[in-house]
């Protein structure tokens, strides 16, 4: 019997050939021993054209084309196809920060055997500037119901496949915050292994950025639904949610607009 891969890297793509090529090149720079790659494509092209275009047959790749229905149904399809002990989502356009990332992750997961883990990521802004997500006190954030605006990006998060599957994957009722809701559920099961090195880089400007008002509303809804906050914890969460909205409004609607005007 073949041993299951230690990791399934899941990539979802929709009409982004250049982004997929960049992600594939980034992945193939890694040590891929025991790594499976799952590609879920919702592009407006047939399956054979996609496979031929990206030469997916040359690697350990599981491929699926599905009708376009949103990023989270595609991510759930990837989870269904995955065979790895851990899963990690590196979507089209996202790239590992350097060639030894997966080796370091594998070593850390093997030594600690956590239920899940996360590390920082590098965010590239529209201006070209880059920012590394700052370290944050997980335990302190947990006490506050994760309502201070700090949470791990999925590009920096690794989770046991069986655990993520036990949640039913990503809740598609959320348009932009299903990965955040998964993070909250993971936090209820176990504390993570916190990796002290950056994992990947991605460009700012995704749905949760461009629709930031919706994202903050869904973050609030997810916290109240999943964490079942009550009493002082509930009041603190409401206060922090309002504060986060004001801070984001100032950054997105005032400061950044002034930069580009």
The CATH number of whichever domain residue 69 belongs to comes to 3.90.550.10
Within a domain: 2: no
What pLDDT was estimated at residue 48?
Answer: 46
Taking residues 218-224, what's their average pLDDT?
A: 91
**d(Cα 181, Cα 161) in Å, to the nearest integer?**
16
Within a domain: 215: no
Burial track 159-185 (b if 16+ CB lie within 10 A, e otherwise): bbbebbeebebbbeebbbbbbbbbbbb
Identify the weakest region by mean pLDDT among 51-55, 59-63, 143-147, 203-207. Answer: 51-55
| Residue that has been written with the tokens 């899963």 in this structure | 87
Within a domain: 258: no
For residue 250, name the pLDDT band (cuts at 50, 70, 90).
confident
What pLDDT was estimated at residue 52?
Answer: 52
Within a domain: 98: yes
**pLDDT tens digits, residue range 109-150?**
999 999 999 999 999 877 778 899 989 999 999 988 898 888
The residue segments making up the domain with residue 90 are 7-205
Within a domain: 147: yes
Cβ–Cβ under 8 Å, residues 97 and 198: yes
Taking residues 39-46, what's their average pLDDT?
A: 80
Token readout for 175 is 């348009």
**d(Cα 191, Cα 116) in Å, to the nearest integer?**
8
What pLDDT was estimated at residue 254?
Answer: 55
Instruction: Tell me the whole-structure pTM to 2 decimals.
Output: 0.87
Within a domain: 15: yes
Within a domain: 213: no
Domain count, the chain: 1
Within a domain: 158: yes
**d(Cα 225, Cα 246) in Å, to the nearest integer?**
23
**d(Cα 201, Cα 121) in Å, to the nearest integer?**
6
What pLDDT was estimated at residue 208?
Answer: 52
Taking residues 28-53, what's their average pLDDT?
A: 77
């Amino acid at each position: 019997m073949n041993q299951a891969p230690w990791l399934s890297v899941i990539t979802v793509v929709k009409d982004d050939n250049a982004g997929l090529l960049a992600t594939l090149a980034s992945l193939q720079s890694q040590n891929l021993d025991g790594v499976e790659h799952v590609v879920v494509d919702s592009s407006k092209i047939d399956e054979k054209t996609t496979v031929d275009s990206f030469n997916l047959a040359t690697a350990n790749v599981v491929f699926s084309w599905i009708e376009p229905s949103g990023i989270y149904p595609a991510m759930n399809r990837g989870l269904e196809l995955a065979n790895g002990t851990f899963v990690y989502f590196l979507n089209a356009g996202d790239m590992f920060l350097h060639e030894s990332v997966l080796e370091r992750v594998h070593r850390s997961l093997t030594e600690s055997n956590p239920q899940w883990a996360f590390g920082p990521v590098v965010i590239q802004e529209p201006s070209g500037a880059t920012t590394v997500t700052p370290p944050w006190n997980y335990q302190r954030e947990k006490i506050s119901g994760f309502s201070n605006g700090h949470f791990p990006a999925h590009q920096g998060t690794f989770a046991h496949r069986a655990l993520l599957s036990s949640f039913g994957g990503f809740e598609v009722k959320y348009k932009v915050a299903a990965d955040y809701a998964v993070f909250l559920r993971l936090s209820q099961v176990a504390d993570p292994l916190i990796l002290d090195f950056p994992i990947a880089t991605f460009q700012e400007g995704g749905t949760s950025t461009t629709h930031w008002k919706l994202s903050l509303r869904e973050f609030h809804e997810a916290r109240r639904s999943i964490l079942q906050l009550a009493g002082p914890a509930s009041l603190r969460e409401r206060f922090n949610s309002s504060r986060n909205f004001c801070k984001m409004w100032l950054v997105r609607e005032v400061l950044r607009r002034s930069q580009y005007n």
